[in-house]
Amino acid sequence: MDIPQKMIHNQLNHRLVHSIVAQLKEKGCDLSQEEAAMVIDLIKDQVLYHYIDQIIHQADTILDLNPSLTEREILEALAQNVVEFLGAEAASIRIYNPSRKEMVSFGAYPAEGEDRETSIPFEDTIAGDVVKFKRSYFIPSILQEEKYKNKEKVQKYGIHSMLAVPISIPRFSLKDVDTEGCLQIYFKEDHKVFTPLETRIAETLAKRVSYVIARKRIMDLQKLSVTKDKIVEQIFLKLGKRGGIKVKEVFNLVIPELADIMKIQRCSLFSVLEDRQQVILEAGFPEAQHGIGKVFEVKESPYIRTLVDQTGPFGEFENEKIFPNYVHILNPQKSSLLPPDLKRFLENQQIHSVLYIPLRVDGKVQYFLTFDAQAQHPGFTDEEIEIFALFGKELMKGLKLEKMDDILHDFKNPAIAVAGFAKRLQKMLSDGEYLVKKEKIDQALDIILKETSRIQELALTLHSEGREEIIDLTEKLMRRVAINEETLAELRRGNIHLEKRELTSPLRIRCYPLHIERVLDNLLNNASNAIPEGGGVLTVRSYEEGGWAVAEISNTGQISEEDKERYLSGEGRGRGLHITTRLVKRMGGRMEMESGEGQTTFRVMFPLVQ
């Protein structure tokens, strides 16, 4: 096999020498075959080495590009490298968008000269033909090239010729497609003759950049895999803690892990209410910037309707990308999906990109996540969307567990009260004084019935919220006070004295009855527990103030100013205040707290219904 190859090589060398001798003779330089062969050997030994060394250095410069750069930055570095090596004037990159059948501008060198169209058609264009036929395209004179449309712009910069070479980046996912594009290299010479050597150099350097982007994508996949593991690990660790899970703590743990994917400034979780006409903000990061518990009407917000009802149309549009598994707002200020008040808020926060991820349960969207970013993000890979969806699914689990923890916490008071009244009822019946104590027996039976019904309702809140009603806050407060008294009796806290002061009735508010009962139970329970072992006073009031219905609960005992701030944000020991703050916000209410002179007062306020 070696001999024929050597013979072929010698034949090629002979033809090359003969061709060079002929060309030199045409130009008046008469060399013999031996002299020409000697010149060729000198060029190979002395000149070609340095030239090849330069080419290898240029290729290595591309291969050494930092894979943490964006793909656009990597391609722009390629453009700069080719321009400088070939002595060109400029270079630009266009990437094929198969969904829209167009070639999209994806950077240039020098960058400040990139005043070209953001996209051009795929068909009947030079860039489109390079991608379609996967071969280079030569334009010796741009002014004479029919397919080059923007002749005025190149004339403005003194550019007259162009070499276009293909760029191809292999896919890294079965769901993905190869990235195809075109590197366009511009020269000042008119009627330029493109040599095979400079064409091959440009093609070689363009191929090398695909290795860099391939390495980048492999590293990105590894990073995404690590991020997935961290998300699951953080939530798993949180689930294992004895205090139970709080979704806001999960946000604080996991969001920093997602910051590398998208420069996230804010993230929030919404759940769809039972009637699918409203959604509620369940959690957010950072929490101070979110109205946790706020309810939004689906029909009044096109972006919510698009997510919840999956109405479409789906596809890539000028200001947004809408697909069943995500909605990406590319230009919030021009998007038709966002209402004016949300646009103003995003503008004030300098948010330039918003991503929404719908989360399904039994085929229906029951939750969705939002991510706000100050950086403009052109799009997300399937793997990145998968990370966000994984985070959402883990949050859904956490939210259900949080609700279960909250319900188990709130079972305590009614359960103790039922046990106490049942014992009292048993004693009265065993004494044989049924007729004498009929009123008290009927009262005990009524409370047992209502509290067992309430325990049942608490359990059902895992699946539905029930129905909003208009109730009297004072009437609910007095009923919960009676239950709290029985609980204290069962716990043998007879040294706590109850004082009922101003009690204005009716104080009508609109709410889910179970929510207000849970709020009052937790406040009464916390106040009772805060009273020192030696005893003290528990005081309740209800009154109207400036269009608000107010329930006030005070107890003997004082807390520090530092603890006051923590308690108001639901950060006290146990779950009671955490549950209370969430429910109060959800009902559109407010909570205040005062502590001093040996007494602490909690005040909950709700809008009055006239």
Query: What's the pLDDT score for residue 597?
Result: 81
SS3 97: strand
Give per-residue pLDDT as tens, 505-539. 899 998 888 888 888 988 988 888 888 888 888 99
The C-alpha atoms of residue 49 and residue 55 are separated, in whole angstroms, by 10
Q: How high is the pLDDT of residue 571?
A: 59
Among 111-115, 144-148, 469-473, 555-559, the minimum mean pLDDT is found in 111-115
Helices assigned H by DSSP within 49-195 = 49-63, 71-86, 126-133, 151-156
Q: Could you tell me the pLDDT band of residue 219, with boundaries at 50, 70 and 90?
A: confident
Which pLDDT score, from 0 to 100, does residue 241 have? 53
Please provide the average confidence, as pLDDT, over all residues in the chain. 79
Return d(Cα 293, Cα 606) in angstroms, integer. Answer: 14
Contact 221, 172 (CB under 8 A): yes
Alpha helices in 240-339 (DSSP H): 247-258, 302-309
Q: What would be the CATH architecture of the domain defined by 65-218?
A: 2-Layer Sandwich (3.30)
Distances (CA, A) of 276 to 279, 311, 364: 7, 14, 10
pLDDT at 5 over 60: no
CB 331 within 8 Å of CB 361: no
Q: Specify the amino acid at residue 28.
A: G
In total, the chain counts a number of residues equal to 610
- CA-closest candidate to residue 268, choices 307, 313, 316: 307
Which pLDDT score is estimated for 236? Answer: 55
CA distances from 400 to 163, 234, 271, 278, 396 (A): 60, 17, 11, 19, 6
C-alpha 555: how far from chain center:
43
Reported confidence tier of residue 277, pLDDT bands at 50, 70, 90: confident
Neighbour count for residue 533 (Cβ, 10 Å)? 7
For the stretch 472-498, pLDDT in tens is 999 989 988 888 887 787 777 778 888
Q: How confident is the model at residue 141 (pLDDT cuts 50, 70, 90)?
A: very high
pLDDT band at 459 (very low <50, low <70, confident <90, very high): low
Topology (CATH) of 226-394: Beta-Lactamase (3.30.450)
**177, 571, 589 from 564: Cα distances, Å:** 56, 10, 18
Mean pLDDT throughout 575-582?
76
In this prediction, residues 325-338 reach a mean pLDDT of 90
The pLDDT of residue 549: 93
Residue bearing the bigger pLDDT, 213 or 49: 213
Question: What pLDDT does 541 receive?
Answer: 92
| All CATH 3.30.450.40 domain ranges in the chain, comma separated | 65-218, 226-394
- Tell the CATH superfamily of the 467-610 domain: Histidine kinase-like ATPase, C-terminal domain (3.30.565.10)
What does the alpha-carbon distance between residue 37 and residue 50 come to, in Å, rounded to a whole number?
20
Of 328-332, 352-356, 438-442, 582-586, give the lowest mean pLDDT range: 438-442
pLDDT in tens, 357-411: 888 877 888 888 888 887 776 666 666 777 777 777 777 766 666 666 666 666 6
What local confidence, expressed as pLDDT, does residue 472 receive?
Answer: 92
The region of weakest confidence among 123-132, 232-241, 504-513 is 232-241
Q: Report pLDDT for 1.
A: 43
| Residue 289 DSSP label | G
Mean pLDDT of 128-138: 92
272/364 Cα distance (integer angstroms): 10
| pLDDT (0 to 100) of residue 362 | 77
DSSP-assigned states of every residue in 545-578: ETTEEEEEEEEE----HHHHHHHHTT-SSSSHHH
To 10 degrees, what angle do helices 438-460 and 382-430 make?
170
pLDDT of residue 163 exceeding 90, the answer is yes
Residues 182-196 as b or e (16 or more Cβ within 10 Å = b): bbbbbbeeeebebee
| Bridge partners, residue 264, by sequence | 373
